[in-house]
Amino acid sequence: MADGFRALVLDEAEKGVSASIQELTDDQLPEGDVTVSVSHSTLNYKDGMILKGIGRLVRNYPHVPGVDFAGTVEASESSEYKTGDKVVLTGWRVGEVHWGGYAQKARVKSDWLVPLPDSMTEQRAMAIGTAGFTAMLAVMELEAHGVTPDSGPVLVTGGNGGVGGVAIGILSGLGYEVHTSTGRPQLADHLKAIGASEIVAREELDVVPERPLASERWAGAIDAVGGNTLASILPQLKYRGAIAACGLAGGADLNSTVIPFLLRGVKLLGIDSVMCPFELRKTAWNRLATELSTESLDAITEIVSLEDLLDLAGKILKGETQGRVVVDLNA
Ligand SMILES: NC(=O)c1ccc[n+]([C@@H]2O[C@H](COP(=O)([O-])OP(=O)(O)OC[C@H]3O[C@@H](n4cnc5c(N)ncnc54)[C@H](OP(=O)(O)O)[C@@H]3O)[C@@H](O)[C@H]2O)c1
């Protein structure tokens, strides 16, 4: 690639931030021992917040957002990577504190990269992206706490979102009975096509529970919504059930009691993808390469350009995007 490359650049503006597509040069890249020619990135919920200047996640401008990317090593001072290696990156506050993936080139610490599994393309890696990687971590955490396909149904909240869609695909592929909640019942057929067998209305869960325990309904849950939804699932988990809490699309509060923990041995499992250790990352990516079907991933993936992001950022924050949004840096 020639010296100049395209990037989406955020600047501080009178009201929040302004975004523009600019031509940058190598001498503007940040510090790092590996330079990557980025082919794909994605739009995650956190990217929506950053692109809209919400939550003061970015402190230094000008800034290149994009919390994940996949591409090919262009230059390396690390013994772990050589020119031509395919790599994927999620987390480590890239796209937030550090320059991210919304550019045709990135320069990062080699410790943050994961080798792309052999059978996985860069586009597929980003169809999974941070959201799908988080879904895999959540599945692994449920498994580690004894939730198996024989334990009973598993609930995935926000099924039409990125974390939700990939979680449904992984769990159904592993043989779980998957229930999913959604605020978009008009997309129920799509959710069934990607592996959900029962649809729960979002409003049903969006209430503070009146009683600390309710009928035992789910052996496990993957929750990307938080707030009342998380609070209303806890009393409905089966004895020794577990819930992996990984998001706050519906709110950050947790209005609950400890009764489900004490009387049912229910487990509340926190999921963090950002600082996740390397060995766990590698395991998760290798499992995603083999255990998530191409069909179920393709069914929830949309490919867009850098320019399209400006409009889509507001939509993901309003829950109006569907599944995974992949950014093709060469489109
Ligand atoms: N812990 C981590 O490391 C980690 C990593 C990645 C993402 N996350 C978090 O996980 C969440 C989902 O991320 P994502 O990228 O999958 O976002 P997303 O694609 O926007 O999905 C979120 C989904 O939640 C549902 N939803 C939206 N607003 C809601 C509301 N007010 N009440 C109830 N449900 C609502 C919608 O699904 P329906 O239309 O089907 O209802 C929406 O599609 C975000 O909070 C994100 O910050 C955390």
* Ligand 1: nearest atom to the Cα of 325: 19
Q: What is the average pLDDT across 306-330?
A: 95
Mutate to test the pocket of ligand 1, among 94, 202, 205, 223 (most ligand atoms within 8 A of CB): 202
> Is residue 23 domain-shared with residue 138, that is, in the same domain?
no
Determine whether the shortest distance from the Cβ of 183 to ligand 1 is under 6 A: yes
Mean pLDDT of the chain: 96
pLDDT at 214 over 90: yes
CATH number at residue 76: 3.90.180.10
Give the DSSP per-residue string, 145-164: TT--TTT--EEESSTTSHHH
Is 215 inside a domain boundary?
A: yes
Single-letter amino acid code for the residue at 70? A
Per the structure, the complete domain to which residue 261 belongs is given by: 130-270
Q: Specify the DSSP element, H or E, that contains 220.
A: strand 218-223
Cα–Cα separations (whole angstroms), residue 177 to 131, 197, 245: 21, 7, 19
How many CB atoms neighbour CB 320 within 10 A? 11
- Alpha carbons 99 and 102: distance in angstroms, whole number: 9
Would you say residue 196 lies in a domain?
yes
How does pLDDT run across 148-183, given as a tens digit for each residue? Answer: 999 999 999 999 999 999 999 999 999 999 999 999
Which ligand 1 atom sits closest to the C-alpha of 316?
Answer: 20
Instruction: Flag whether pLDDT at 211 surpasses 90.
Output: yes
* Cβ–Cβ under 8 Å, residues 142 and 269: yes
- For 275-304, write each residue's pLDDT tens digit: 999 999 999 999 999 999 999 899 999 999
Please state, in angstroms and rounded to a whole number, the distance separating the CA atoms of residues 282 and 115. Answer: 8
pLDDT tens for each residue of 97-128: 999 999 999 999 999 999 999 999 999 999 99
Q: Tell me: do 143 and 263 sit in the same domain.
A: yes
Final residue of a structural domain among 232, 252, 270: 270
What is residue 320's predicted lDDT score, i.e. its pLDDT? 93
CATH of the domain at 243: 3.40.50.720
The answer on pLDDT for 2 being more than 70 is no
Tokens of 288: 């995603």
